[in-house]
Amino acid sequence: MASMASVEEIRNAQRAKGPATVLAIGTATPENFIHQSDYADYYFRVTKSEHMTELKKKFKRICSTAGEKSMIKKRYIHLTEKMLEEHPNIGAYMAPSLNIHQEIITAEIPKLGKEAALKALKEWGQPKSKITHLVFCTTSGVEMPVLTINLPIS
């Protein structure tokens, strides 16, 4: 009669032996971008705030200094001017826009995750069936841990 394996034996059998290793890295960014040097003009135009000339001048200086010190050349964004026209609250001061932001990134971030995962798989050169862990990181949104579970790799 076969003996039942203990929980510890099952867990040990499922664990990798040796240190964890990053075998490939894939990255992806939205198609839309704004050059850092143009960001202040863009921001004040789409938020209909060009009349705030002193604030715009200060923001230009901040963007210029931040870009030089951080080496930021481009800002990648999902928002298009068409989206901003369709959802004016996104660009309006103190207007509620969290829900629409979340809807946009909840739809778009998994697409970027898939793109990055496919790049990493290609770099790695092994079949998807050999994946034991997938690490996903984004600086967008509060729903992202859920999206790692639903990452569409196929």
Mean pLDDT for all residues in the chain: 82
For residues 91 and 95, give the distance between their C-alpha atoms in angstroms, rounded to a whole number. Answer: 8
DSSP symbol at 4: P
Q: What is the pLDDT of residues 81-97, one digit of tens each?
A: 898 889 988 888 788 88
For residues 39 and 33, give the distance between their C-alpha atoms in angstroms, rounded to a whole number. Answer: 10
- Count Cβ neighbours within 10 Å for each residue of 111-122 and write b for 16 or more, e otherwise: ebbbebbeebbe
Q: Which two tokens stand for residue 114?
A: 């898939």
DSSP symbol at 131: -
Higher pLDDT, 83 or 12: 83
Q: Which of 85, 125, 111 is nearest to 140 (CA)?
A: 111
Q: What is the pLDDT of residues 39-79, one digit of tens each?
A: 999 999 988 899 999 999 999 988 888 667 778 889 998 88
The three-class DSSP label of residue 144 is: helix
The pTM assigned to this predicted structure is 0.68
